[in-house]
């Protein structure tokens, strides 16, 4: 018996190492390294059990490796993953609501549930221990939370993934609450239409100063074949050669209403009048023929009202992003510092982010042209 248990523990350790290898492919996604850290803790926990040779049965029963395995399998089915083990702040909770996977560019929240069907049903029928929350309680909380964390001005859909087949009555109750259910055997994810997410993008785009500058930059308009004296510009030119930005923005802008607020327009004009070259100025004139300049907002919308000013969040940036939300527009920007800082304060701003590009036309005279 002990050798069988030892075998299972070794299999779990091997499984943990394999899961970490798979997750290495997702390392750039926020939250993945945290999951890997938890898996490593499980591995150490099991290795210690083997070394000490005590309570091996308890170690097998208490390991979370099956949950991590289930989570990774779900992860591999998803597209446009934004975050793993993401915390959403809610006023009624003293701790953030944890969402296992946020994907489809934020439009889908997934909770992975590896509990056996009997335990789920007992808890839903009030037969769990005191204080334990049932799957129905969790479903109601998730659905309510989406109202406070809109994505592209709509509530994300909530999907509960189950490791085992669940009771039909329980399934019906979850669906009535507003939760979709799925399992690894479902084929719905394979029929995912990538155009579905694109079609959900708002038809109005709010252009930040950084986007206006990038669009007219010589760097994005054939001027990436220079070696500049400034290391910052050298790096931007290299990125532009690898991933041209203008085609991305042109595709995004196609068929959309383009707007900006007065404060963004004025700042843009101040910058180009100071450091833009003659051709960049011509591009600016042509671009602004396509962009509606609208009055600044007078009040910060509720979604950003609690945002605290900092080094990354100044009054001007706040007004520009708030203008976008007020207009129900997707803000196009390279100001990732603002987005990160807002996210750390529990606020997700509806944005399309891109790499930054500086104005370079006047710098070309001191640069070396490359083939």
Any long-range contacts for 45-53 (C-beta under 8 Å, 24+ apart)?
46/9, 46/12, 46/13, 46/16, 47/13, 49/9, 50/6, 50/9, 50/10
264 vs 351 pLDDT, higher one: 264
Q: How confident is the model at residue 195, as a pLDDT?
A: 40
Mean pLDDT of the chain, nearest integer: 88
Task: Round to whole Å and give the CA distance between 257 and 249.
Answer: 13
Task: Round to whole Å and give the CA distance between 297 and 291.
Answer: 17
Band of pLDDT at residue 15, cut at 50, 70 and 90: very high
Answer whether residue 191 shows pLDDT above 60: no
3-state secondary structure of 120: helix
Least confidently predicted of 204-208, 302-306, 323-327:
302-306
Mean pLDDT to the nearest integer, 240-247 = 94
Answer whether residue 1 shows pLDDT above 50: no
Band of pLDDT at residue 189, cut at 50, 70 and 90: very low
Band of pLDDT at residue 131, cut at 50, 70 and 90: low
Q: How confident is the model at residue 190, as a pLDDT?
A: 41
Band of pLDDT at residue 62, cut at 50, 70 and 90: low
% of the chain surpassing 70 pLDDT:
90
The answer to whether 78-200 and 201-369 have equal CATH topology is no
Mean pLDDT to the nearest integer, 314-322 = 95
Q: Tell me the per-residue pLDDT of 249-296, one tens digit each, with 9 for 90 and over.
A: 999 999 999 999 999 999 999 999 999 999 999 999 999 999 999 999
Q: How confident is the model at residue 55, as a pLDDT?
A: 58
Instruction: Tell me if the domain spanning 201-369 has CATH number 3.40.50.720.
Output: no
Mean pLDDT to the nearest integer, 20-24 = 96
Whole-prediction pTM: 0.67
| Domain map (residue ranges) of the chain | 1-76, 78-200, 201-369
Task: With CA atoms as reference, report the closest residue to 103 among 85, 115, 130, 126.
Answer: 85
Instruction: Tell me if the domain spanning 78-200 has CATH number 2.20.28.
Output: no
Q: How confident is the model at residue 192, as a pLDDT?
A: 40
């Amino acid at each position: 018996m002990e050798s069988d248990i030892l075998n299972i523990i070794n299999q779990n350790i091997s499984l943990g190492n394999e899961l970490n290898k798979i997750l290495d492919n997702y390392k750039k996604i926020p939250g993945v390294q945290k999951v890997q850290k938890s898996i490593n803790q499980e591995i150490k926990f099991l290795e210690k059990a083997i070394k000490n040779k005590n309570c091996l049965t308890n170690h097998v029963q208490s390991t979370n490796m099956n949950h991590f395995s289930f989570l990774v399998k779900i992860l591999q089915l998803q597209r446009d993953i934004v975050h793993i083990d993401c915390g959403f702040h809610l006023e009624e909770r003293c701790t953030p609501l944890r969402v296992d996977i946020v994907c489809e560019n934020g439009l889908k929240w997934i909770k992975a549930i590896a509990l056996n069907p009997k335990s789920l049903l007992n808890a839903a029928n009030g037969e769990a221990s005191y204080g334990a929350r049932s799957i129905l309680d969790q479903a109601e909380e998730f659905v309510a939370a989406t109202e406070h964390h809109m994505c592209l001005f709509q509530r994300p859909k909530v999907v509960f993934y189950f490791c085992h087949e669940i009771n039909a009555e329980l399934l019906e109750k979850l669906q009535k609450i507003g939760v979709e259910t799925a399992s690894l055997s479902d084929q719905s994810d394979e029929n995912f239409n990538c155009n579905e997410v694109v079609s959900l993008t708002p038809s109005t785009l709010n252009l930040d100063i950084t986007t206006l500058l990038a669009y007219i930059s010589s760097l994005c308009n054939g001027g990436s074949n220079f070696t500049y004296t400034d290391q910052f510009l050298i790096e931007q030119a290299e990125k532009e050669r690898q991933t041209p930005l203008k085609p991305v923005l042109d595709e995004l802008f196609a068929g959309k209403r383009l707007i900006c607020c007065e404060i963004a327009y004025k700042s843009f004009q101040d910058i180009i009048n100071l450091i833009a070259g003659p051709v960049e100025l011509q591009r600016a004139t042509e671009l602004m023929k396509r962009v509606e300049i609208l009055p600044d907002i007078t009040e910060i919308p509720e979604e950003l009202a609690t945002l605290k000013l900092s080094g990354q969040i100044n009054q001007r940036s706040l007004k520009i992003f708030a203008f976008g939300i007020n207009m129900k527009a997707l803000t196009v920007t390279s100001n990732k510092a603002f987005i990160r800082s807002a996210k750390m304060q529990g606020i997700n701003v509806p944005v399309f982010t891109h790499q930054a590009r500086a104005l370079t036309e006047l710098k070309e005279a001191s640069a070396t042209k490359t083939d």
